[in-house]
Amino acid sequence: DESKLKKKAKKALNPKEVTVDVATQQMLEKAQHDGVETIFDRAVTMKACNIGAQGTCCKVCSQGPCRLPLPKGGIEGDDTRKGLCGATPETIAARNFARMVAVGSAAHGDHGRGVVETFIAMANRETEDYSVHDTEKLMEVAQYLNVPTTIMVEGEDGVKRPEMRETYELARDVGQKALAQWTSQEGEILSALQAPPARLEVWRDLDVVPRGIDREIVELLHRTHMGVDQDYRNLVKQCSRAALADGWGGSMLATDLQDIMFGTPYPMQGEINLGVLKEDHVNILVHGHEPLLSEMIVVASQEPEMLEYAKQKGAKGILLAGMCCTANEILVRHGLPTAGNYLQQELAIVTGAVEAMVVDVQCIMENIANVAECYHTKIITTNPRAMIESGNTTHIEFDEHSALEDARKIVRQAVENFPNRRPGVMIPNAKEPMVAGFSKEAIKYHLGGAFRGSYTPLNDNIINGRIRGIAGVVGCNNARTMHDSGHLTVIKELLKQDVIVLSTGCSAMACGKAGLLAPESAKVYCGPGLAEVCETVGIPPVLHMGACVDNSRILMAATEVVKAGGLGKDISELPAAGSAPEWMSEKAIAIGHYFVASGVYTVFGNGLPVTGSPKFQKFLFEELENLYGGKWDLELDPYAHARKMIEHINKKRAALGLDK
């Protein structure tokens, strides 16, 4: 009847209200026209659960779920809320939080494990498809893993002298030693020892240096079992171990070994947004997180035989582009085009121009299979850990021993799908040029002054106030908040105040689409000091450092800044802050927590499931600062969000005696 229809019409999605990205708006209109439902539609029709959002729904045993929402009008007097077993809101919220840290750390850790396994196969020359690309990085990693890089060789004169070890022999030992960081049960993981000595001291005092990557995650999960750890402070302590095992362990080793195999990123020119797709080409999207497969697809899609095959099928060529963090991986190493960030994955298919979407792990929406059914797109899953139960997806398992062959199989299937395009293809006319690939090494080079090998000039610019401070703005998109808008507002506010921004993940992509990764944007968006630095050096004001695992690069860049001197002895003393304005994944919580435990003030947007327990929230938002020098915060309004970060940066500047 009419009132129902009216209600429905009222609930219908208005594309301009849910995203600031023009290409996304256009494709949402097309989806509506084509009768295709996306996450944006469901975000309108489906409300989130208020108790879960507060973090106080306990379902760790079958006597519940026990639901402990904040009473209307707040808590007066003692908080008497309890679960059946007596669990307090603190225990429940802390356990839920801990589980997010555990899963997020597990995701990065398992990604890292895959990299190490491939690395070992490469070092043993069991696969010719991968090789050592960056020997300098190999040496660096060998050093922190205590693997000797030289051996003593006796010369003709009978004198023994040190000689460099053979590359693959060295790589074998590095691979084994890296793997041992996952399995180790006691002591301290070696990659974490790269932190500034003062930070290490903080961790040792608090007894949170990770003993082994797997161990900390398993122990954290154990502690959240019914009836185990019922002290939220003690739970958070183990959260720190697991999160640090992610940032300074699983993620860091993944990044470093990927750099050895595929090259350390240096600034590259690239393009971003759905407009990178080409109507007359076979379009292949690689979506997910791991570069192991996508690196091979890069090779396979450029082989002459494959291009010939594409021509036979009526296409002019093959266009390979990325989505989500896989995009970041192939962008920062090859300059390959980026189709879009997390909330654009369904919409890429809606163009009708994608022959295959090849996925591995993490951030892949199950609904892409439904959307693909409305077009000709093939969804190809590749990882035994991540399949989609849907008739129209294909699984082509990827094995590092037959990597290039597997990649060829996948590309061939995409090419064969080209003639199956349906009428109504529409690619948005929207793409932006960008520069990406700022590893810690690249920052040293570009901001390193005349000698191109030091962080001192950067520090000098922070000390003299041209650069007020450093912000790490990272993380996902979230369908509960306007797509890309939080990232862009926070970042533009920071730039105005001369805060240089380091970015990764979907946040970096939001910047790319809005032109913030183009060096010319510096004079438009930055305060005079930062603009001058960017223009002198020729860099954009937002430095795209890679995928989410590459947040470890931000930790190491911060460490380099500490080492360069003049800004205190610890990361917690730096005029710096972290932010994830549109976070959604559990990985984001793990990342947030390792930033906090590393001494960084970290603000999240969009809600945090801790608000149902004011005591636990206070612990994270205030008391942690006394322990770690860093703390959590939550701010939904992006302007206030940026302001809080700037205030923190100012506070740190004052403590260092700058701006006198």
Give the residues lining the site for ligand CUV (CB under 6 A). 289, 324-325, 341-342, 363, 475-476, 505-506, 547-548, 585, 587
The SS3 call for residue 58 is strand
* Choice between 211 and 289, CB closer to ligand CUV: 289
Q: How far is the CB of 213 from ligand CUV (least distance, A)?
A: 18
* Choice between 343 and 627, CB closer to ligand CUV: 343
* Choice between 87 and 547, CB closer to ligand CUV: 547
* Choice between 255 and 585, CB closer to ligand CUV: 585
Q: How far is the CB of 615 from ligand CUV (least distance, A)?
A: 29
* Choice between 102 and 624, CB closer to ligand CUV: 102
Q: How far is the CB of 425 from ligand CUV (least distance, A)?
A: 26
Q: How far is the CB of 381 from ligand CUV (least distance, A)?
A: 17
Q: How far is the CB of 632 from ligand CUV (least distance, A)?
A: 18
Q: How far is the CB of 585 from ligand CUV (least distance, A)?
A: 4
Q: How far is the CB of 325 from ligand CUV (least distance, A)?
A: 4
313 and 416 Cβ atoms separated by less than 8 Å: yes
Q: How far is the CB of 78 from ligand CUV (least distance, A)?
A: 39
- Burial-class residue 274 by CB neighbours within 10 Å (0-12, 13-18, 19+): buried
Q: Are strands 576-580 and 469-473 parallel, antiparallel or unpaired?
A: parallel
Taking alpha carbons only, the member of 600, 540, 529, 614 closest to residue 570 is 600
Alpha-carbon dihedral 376, 377, 378, 380, rounded to 10 degrees? -170
- 323 backbone dihedrals φ, ψ, rounded to 5°: -130, 150
358 and 285 Cβ atoms separated by less than 8 Å: yes
Residue with the two structure tokens 């401070």: 469
* Choice between 291 and 352, CB closer to ligand CUV: 291
| Both tokens assigned to 23 | 């290409």
Diameter of the chain measured on Cα atoms: 100
Q: Which residues pair with 435 in a beta bridge?
A: 269
Q: Within 10 Å of residue 654's Cβ, how many Cβ atoms?
A: 12
* Choice between 505 and 609, CB closer to ligand CUV: 505
Measured in whole angstroms, the distance separating CA 619 from the mean position of its chain's CA atoms is 26
Distance CA 353, CA 376 (A): 8
Taking alpha carbons only, the member of 101, 188, 191 closest to residue 595 is 101
The SS3 call for residue 464 is coil
Q: How far is the CB of 651 from ligand CUV (least distance, A)?
A: 28
* Choice between 506 and 526, CB closer to ligand CUV: 506
Q: How far is the CB of 484 from ligand CUV (least distance, A)?
A: 12
Taking alpha carbons only, the member of 336, 428, 62, 1 closest to residue 226 is 62
Q: What 8-state DSSP symbol labels residue 421?
A: P
- What would you report as the CA-atom Rg of the chain, rounded to the nearest whole angstrom? 25
| Both tokens assigned to 544 | 């795209």
Q: How far is the CB of 606 from ligand CUV (least distance, A)?
A: 12
Distance CA 498, CA 153 (A): 54
Distance CA 9, CA 342 (A): 27
Distance CA 638, CA 491 (A): 9
298 and 336 Cβ atoms separated by less than 8 Å: yes
Q: How far is the CB of 277 from ligand CUV (least distance, A)?
A: 19
CA distances from residue 619 to 68, 624, 625, 634 in whole angstroms, order as listed:
19, 6, 9, 13
Q: How far is the CB of 326 from ligand CUV (least distance, A)?
A: 8
127 and 400 Cβ atoms separated by less than 8 Å: yes
| Both tokens assigned to 641 | 């969000």
* Choice between 323 and 649, CB closer to ligand CUV: 323
Nearest-5° Cα angle at 96, 638 to 184: 105
* Choice between 216 and 550, CB closer to ligand CUV: 550
232 and 94 Cβ atoms separated by less than 8 Å: yes
356 and 284 Cβ atoms separated by less than 8 Å: yes
* Choice between 483 and 652, CB closer to ligand CUV: 483
* Choice between 147 and 548, CB closer to ligand CUV: 548
* Choice between 368 and 447, CB closer to ligand CUV: 368
Q: How far is the CB of 27 from ligand CUV (least distance, A)?
A: 18
* Choice between 324 and 443, CB closer to ligand CUV: 324
**What b-and-e string marks burial along 159-177, b requiring 16 or more CB atoms within 10 Å of the CB?**
eeeeeebeeeebbbbbbeb
